[in-house]
């Protein structure tokens, strides 16, 4: 009997992890990985600012899935089979130790993404994966005679295989292959971005961060989503974990609104409005003759306080004693629900992902096999799955790739037939 022929399209995190898993579970299988560019694992190399945030120290499937604006429900079962703890153990077996930072993000102890790239390259080599690089796949056809696939390379060469893993990330070419095979693609739109705010006075505060703030997104006067966390003022607007999370959860509605939205900022989410009022009134009573700009009643950076006052119309000379109640209420509103206009989407170079991809209802999450095309498997960002920042995107790539690889290599699993 001829060995099982498996082709993996895409040499990113998911493609490599899937190819290794399948070659390890079935050492007799012939595993070929085809990568379009000359540099496999390019995103791993640049990930996490060159350090590669491999995963997140979150070891309960129920909690882990809460970090995925899209795909969390589908991943729940998958994470019971392969989760962050398994990722740590897998890399440890290859001699790569990971460390956890205070916020839960996990990196190789070398702080160098090259460690992960080398590890995956070496393991693929050791497991006998054949690597074809610099060779885009232009089409995939089903071979009705063998129930396998014909992979058409740009060079016009055709590869035959019994099972196929599509791990082409967010590439249009990959979506098209999936579509041509009968799958539906949720329209791809960006996720994990910063907010542009066209206010020079705010931008002048670049570098100031406040933790926590509570953000509320509102589009066409309809409240949409909330996030609480750290906020960073930048040269183009707002960034920081709270903004990135909001951008991920709101990726689709923000795209549909052409990134025009209202953002309500509560600068003091740890306090009830009445508490803030009492604090301000206490300062007013104690410092009545002093300028409001110099004696703030709340714990916010001085320059930010002054900026908030200008938004309300309080000048640097205005004194507490002269502050009418109407202005005091305006100040309270500004502190707890200041309204900002999002005028566009910025870039977040540390981690950037695509929302959208292969419709999850069409995939069996026990094996990652297509429910429409026996023998076809999916892993990584090609799926309509994306996570917030913190290592969650790689974790979904490792998990889906491991499940796909293990299932593809095991001849008793999946509905596909095997050519002889
Ligand atoms: C700058 C940046 C930093 C990031 N940092 C982190 C991080 O620290 N932690 C984290 O969890 N996530 C991070 N991410 C997200 C993470 O990189 C992705 O979620 C992950 O790489 C997805 O892996 P993948 O294998 O599915 O896709 P990809 O890594 O995109 O790999 C897909 C591969 O398929 C190839 N391909 C596409 N079409 C074809 C074709 N037709 N024929 C052959 N090959 C093809 C591509 O060339 C590519 O190599 C980051 C993303 C960016 C952009």
Asked if the structure places residue 415 within a domain, the reply is: no
Distance 158 CA to ligand 1 centre (A): 25
| Whether residues 380 and 329 fall in one domain | no
| Ligand 1 atom at shortest distance from the alpha carbon of 53 | 8
Tens of pLDDT, residue by residue over 274-311, are 999 999 999 999 989 899 999 888 899 999 999 999 99
Q: How far is the CA of 129 from the centre of ligand 1 (A)?
A: 19
Q: How far apart are CA 252 and CA 248, in angstroms?
A: 8
Nearest-CA residue for ligand 1 atom 14 is: 351
Gap from CA of 352 to ligand 1 centroid (Å): 10
CB contact set of 114 (below 8 Å; sequence gap of 6+): 45
Residues 263, 249 share a domain: yes
219 shares a domain with 239 = yes
- Domain end: 347, 366, 398, which one? 347
How do residues 327-353 score in pLDDT, each as one tens digit? 999 999 999 999 999 999 998 777 789
Residues 185 and 202 in one domain: no
Task: Give the distance between the most distant pair of CA atoms in the chain.
Answer: 93
Closest Cα to atom 31 of ligand 1: 12
> The tokens of 194 are what?
């910063």
Is residue 46 within 6 Å of ligand 1 at its C-beta?
yes
Find tokens 């089903």 and name the residue. Answer: 142
d(CA 73, CA 67): 11
Task: Tell me how far apart the alpha carbons of residues 343 and 334 are, in angstroms, rounded to a whole number.
Answer: 20
> For residue 190, how far is its CA from the centre of ligand 1 (angstroms)?
14
Number of domains observed in the structure of the chain: 2
Does residue 312 lie in a domain region? yes
Decide: 97 and 109 in contact? Cβ < 8 Å. yes
User: Are 116 and 56 within one domain?
Assistant: yes
Strand partners, 166: 9, 378
45 in a structural domain: yes
Note whether residue 205 is domain-resident: yes
| 126 Cβ contact partners less than 8 Å away, ≥ 6 residues apart | none
Tell me: do 278 and 386 sit in the same domain: no
Ligand 1 within 6 A of 71 CB?
A: no
Q: What is the dihedral of CA 209, 210, 211, 213, to 10 degrees?
A: -130
CA–CA dist 404, 396 (Å, integer): 12
Same domain? For 404 and 262 the reply is no
pLDDT reported for residue 414? 39
Q: Which residue's C-alpha comes closest to atom 17 of ligand 1?
A: 43
Identify the CA nearest to 340 among candidates 209, 274, 243: 243
CA-nearest of 104, 187, 159 to 355 is: 187
pLDDT at 351: 76
**Distance (Å, whole) CA 364 – CA 342:** 39
Question: What secondary structure letter does DSSP report for 213?
Answer: E
Residues 360 and 302 in one domain: no
22 touches ligand 1 (CB under 6 Å): no
Ligand 1 centroid vs 63 CA: distance in angstroms? 24
Q: How far apart (Å, rounded) are the C-alpha atoms in residues 387 and 182?
A: 26
- Domain assignment present for 291: yes
Are 229 and 294 part of one and the same domain?
A: yes
In-domain check, residue 126:
yes
Q: Which atom of ligand 1 is nearest to the CA of 15?
A: 25
Q: 11 CB less than 6 Å from ligand 1? A: yes
User: Which ligand 1 atom is at minimum distance from the Cα of 55?
Assistant: 11
CA of 193 to the centre of ligand 1 (A): 17
- Cα of 89 vs centre of ligand 1, distance in Å, is 22
Q: Report the C-alpha gap between 414 and 376 in whole angstroms.
A: 9
| 79 and 34 co-located in one domain | yes
Please spell the DSSP secondary structure of 232-253, one letter per residue. Answer: EE-SSEEESHHHHHHHHHTHHH
Secondary element (H or E) of residue 279: helix 273-286
Do residues 113 and 50 lie in contact, with contact meaning Cβ atoms separated by under 8 Å? yes
Q: Residue 56: CB within 6 Å of ligand 1?
A: no
Residue ranges making up the domain that contains 182: 5-190+350-410
Using CB atoms within 10 Å of the CB of residue 270, give its burial: 0 to 12 exposed, 13 to 18 middle, 19+ buried: exposed
Q: Residue whose CA is closest, atom 29 of ligand 1?
A: 12
C-alpha torsion angle, residues 55, 42, 68, 268 (rounded to 10): 80
416 occurs within a structural domain? no
* Contact residues for 391 (Cβ-Cβ < 8 A; gap 6+): 48, 53, 54, 55, 56, 84, 105, 106
Report how far ligand 1's centroid is from the alpha carbon of 155 (Å).
23
**342 and 362 fall within a common domain:** no
Give the residues across from 341 on adjacent strands.
Answer: 262
- Which of 295, 316, 347 is a domain's end point? 347
The alpha carbon of 253 is separated from its chain's Cα centroid by a whole number of angstroms, namely 16
Q: Measured in angstroms, how far is the CA atom of residue 15 from the centroid of ligand 1?
A: 9
CATH number of domain containing 356:
3.50.50.60
Residues of the chain below pLDDT 70: 411-420
296 falls within a domain: yes
Q: Indicate if 53 and 168 belong to the same structural domain.
A: yes
Domain boundary among 329, 347, 365: 347
Residue 411, pLDDT score: 58
């Amino acid at each position: 009997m001829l060995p099982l022929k498996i082709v993996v399209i895409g040499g990113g995190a998911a493609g490599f992890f899937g190819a290794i898993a399948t070659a390890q579970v079935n050492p007799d299988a012939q595993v070929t990985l085809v990568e379009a560019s000359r540099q496999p694992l390019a995103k791993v190399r640049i990930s996490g600012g060159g350090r590669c945030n491999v995963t997140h120290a979150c070891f309960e499937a129920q909690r882990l899935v809460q970090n995925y604006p899209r795909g969390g429900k589908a991943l729940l079962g998958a994470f019971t089979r392969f989760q962050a703890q398994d990722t740590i153990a897998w890399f440890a077996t290859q001699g790569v130790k990971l460390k956890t930072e205070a916020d839960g993000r996990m990196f190789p102890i070398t702080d160098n993404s090259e460690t992960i790239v080398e590890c995956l390259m070496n393991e693929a080599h050791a497991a006998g994966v054949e690597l074809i690089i610099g060779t885009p796949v232009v089409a995939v056809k089903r071979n009705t005679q063998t129930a396998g696939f014909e992979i058409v390379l740009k060079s016009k060469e055709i590869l035959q295989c019994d099972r196929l893993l599509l791990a082409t990330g967010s590439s249009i070419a990959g979506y098209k292959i999936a579509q041509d095979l009968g799958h539906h693609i949720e329209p791809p739109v960006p996720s994990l971005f910063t907010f542009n705010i066209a206010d020079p006075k705010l931008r002048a505060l670049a570098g100031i961060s406040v933790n926590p703030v509570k953000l509320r997104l509102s589009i066409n006067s309809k409240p949409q989503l909330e996030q609480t966390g750290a906020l960073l003022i930048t040269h183009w607007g707002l960034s920081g974990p709270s903004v990135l999370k909001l951008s991920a959860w709101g990726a689709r509605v923000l795209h549909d609104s052409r990134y025009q939205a209202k953002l309500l900022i509560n600068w003091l989410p740890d306090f009830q409005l009445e508490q803030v009022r009492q604090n301000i009134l206490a300062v007013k009573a104690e410092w009545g003759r002093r300028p409001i700009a110099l004696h703030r009643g709340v714990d916010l950076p001085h320059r930010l306080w002054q900026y908030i006052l200008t938004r309300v119309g309080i000048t640097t000379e205005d004194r507490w004693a002269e502050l009418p109640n109407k202005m005091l209420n305006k100040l309270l509103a500004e502190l707890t629900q200041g309204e900002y206009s999002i005028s566009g989407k910025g870039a977040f170079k540390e981690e950037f992902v695509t929302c959208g991809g292969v419709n999850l209802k069409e995939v069996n999450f026990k094996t990652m096999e297509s429910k429409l095309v026996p023998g076809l498997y999916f892993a990584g960002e090609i799926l309509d799955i994306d996570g917030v920042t913190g290592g969650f995107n790689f974790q979904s790539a490792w998990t889906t790739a491991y499940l796909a690889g293990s299932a593809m290599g095991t001849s008793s699993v999946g509905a596909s037939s095997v050519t002889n």
